[in-house]
Amino acid sequence: MAGDRVGLRLYKSIDAVAAIFGILKAGAAYVPVDAESPAARAAFILNDCQVKVVITHHALEEALRQELRAIAAAPPTMITLHEGDGPLPLHSRLASLQSVDPAPEVPSVSAREEDIAYILYTSGSTGNPKGVVLTHRNALSFVNWCSDTFRPSDSDVFASHAPFHFDLSILDIFVSIKHGASLVLFGEALGKEPLRLAAAISSERISVWYSTPSILSLLADYGKLQRYDYSALRFVFFAGEVFPVSRFRALRAFWNGPRFVNLYGPTETNVCTFYEVPQNGTWQGMDTFPIGRICQPNRGLVVDEGGRPVERGQQGELVVSGPNVMRGYWNLPEQDARAFVSDGHGARWYRTGDIVVEEGEGHYRYLSRRDRMVKRRGYRVELGEIEAALTRHPDIREVAVVAAPDPDSGVRIVAFVSRQSDRDLSIIAMKGFSARVLPSYMIPDAFTVVDALPRTSTNKVDLQILKARI
């Protein structure tokens, strides 16, 4: 029904796309959950936003049911898809349910701009993921901006590489549909294998590609791109993390035809700035690309710690206002209060947490973060959430997680742990535990067991000492 939330814990498939549009057509909001993340995390998300129905695969059903029963007073209805139900399991399952208990026919709901379209959960510093609430107005503003700026056509072939719980998927799905273009789904397994992925991009004649720089670097290094024809490529969008120019240069050696565009924006703003890499090669002298200028009709400001605008050329935090910006976090009013500032004229400005500097011609350049959030493979990772998860291990007394830049993976995450005095603690056990409580992109690259965590004079964990040990 209109206003309900519907959970999706599905692998990439036509069924998943059909479910998204069916949910929106009913006036409900979809809540996509990573099919490969631990069932406990998925259950938390689905229970947190009180989904009425969950659509999932048979292989994922039982573990999810167990976790939901453990935390939910009234677990949601579950629609389970079976691989043996023909080429379109969702259609078969719904037809079966209809034959047993017919649902009434009702007209499609005409959603209002302020209605929720979807809720995307991101890593949270409190130890639990938090839901970012995006309305139809938020999504349409971004989709319409893409259409006006890049002018795709019905002859384009979009790649759907990003999983549907990742905000990059919004461009793939909805911009392609708006223009009657083709959408080619790249499943989870294919998306991680550069040799097969490189061949598929060529054979499917992909013209619009969107992914994180990490994937593009893998393609350049291991995809053997010189073997294939990429003349169909018109646009290559990248987002989610910094793309070192040295890695971009390796890719550009093989893909020299398309337009390359850096799209920047946290999940809370969809995309809010963009920078198109110049075709004339003036980027060669850069270390990293700017995040570019603001996506109209949104507005951006660089402010100091007190929320006051700084002079051009001075660094500060980027705040964003406009139709792309989320309604707020799901059921977290205190988080909302911290996330927004007011300019005194009724406008809300979202605090991105990114430290930037405004350069010439209204271009912003990213410098750093003001908190403990890092980007890994395009995903937002709050180091505090990793710490909270690891402290649930019975043999761990304390844990501190730090991160540092890495030339290969973008960021290296290391967990320093101290054990309970009477317990043995192995690296293998910690890795296995991490895999059960954290999604793969949040699992630390390394674990270091210490007798005690270093402390500052105020008895806080000295993260700077730990960073020096990476």
With beta carbons less than 8 A apart as the criterion, state whether 130 and 329 touch. Answer: yes
| Whole-prediction pTM | 0.86
End-to-end CA, the chain: 51
Contact 369, 354 (CB under 8 A): yes
> For residue 108, what are the CA distances in angstroms to 27, 143, 327?
8, 22, 24
What confidence score (pLDDT) does residue 458 get? 56
Beta carbons of 459 and 398 less than 8 angstroms apart:
no
- 395: tokens are 């043999």
- What is the distance between the alpha carbons of residues 167 and 155, in angstroms, rounded to a whole number? 24
Question: What is the reported pLDDT for 346?
Answer: 79
| Contact partners, residue 199, CB within 8 Å, separation at least 6 | 227, 228
Distance of CA 111 to CAs 25, 117, 137, 441, Å? 8, 9, 10, 35
Ranges of residues in the chain whose predicted pLDDT is under 50: none
CA dist 254 → 214, 248, 280 (Å):
16, 10, 16
User: Yes or no: is domain 373-468 CATH 3.30.300.30?
Assistant: yes
- The predicted pLDDT at position 464 comes to 83
Q: How many other CB atoms are found less than 10 A from the CB of residue 331?
A: 13
Please state, in angstroms and as integers, the Cα–Cα distance from residue 115 to each residue in 133, 178, 190, 381, following that order. Answer: 10, 19, 35, 28
Identify the helix (H) or strand (E) that includes residue 388.
helix 383-390
Please give the backbone phi and psi of residue 431, each rounded to the nearest 5 degrees, phi first: -65, -40
Q: What is the DSSP string of 272-292?
A: -EEEEPPTTSGGGG-SB---B
Q: Where are the domains of the chain?
A: 373-468
Omega within 30 of 0 (cis) for the link into 297: yes
Nearest C-alpha neighbor of 234 from the set 168, 150, 170, 143: 150
Token code pair at residue 79: 């629609």
Residue 7: what residue type? G
DSSP 191: G
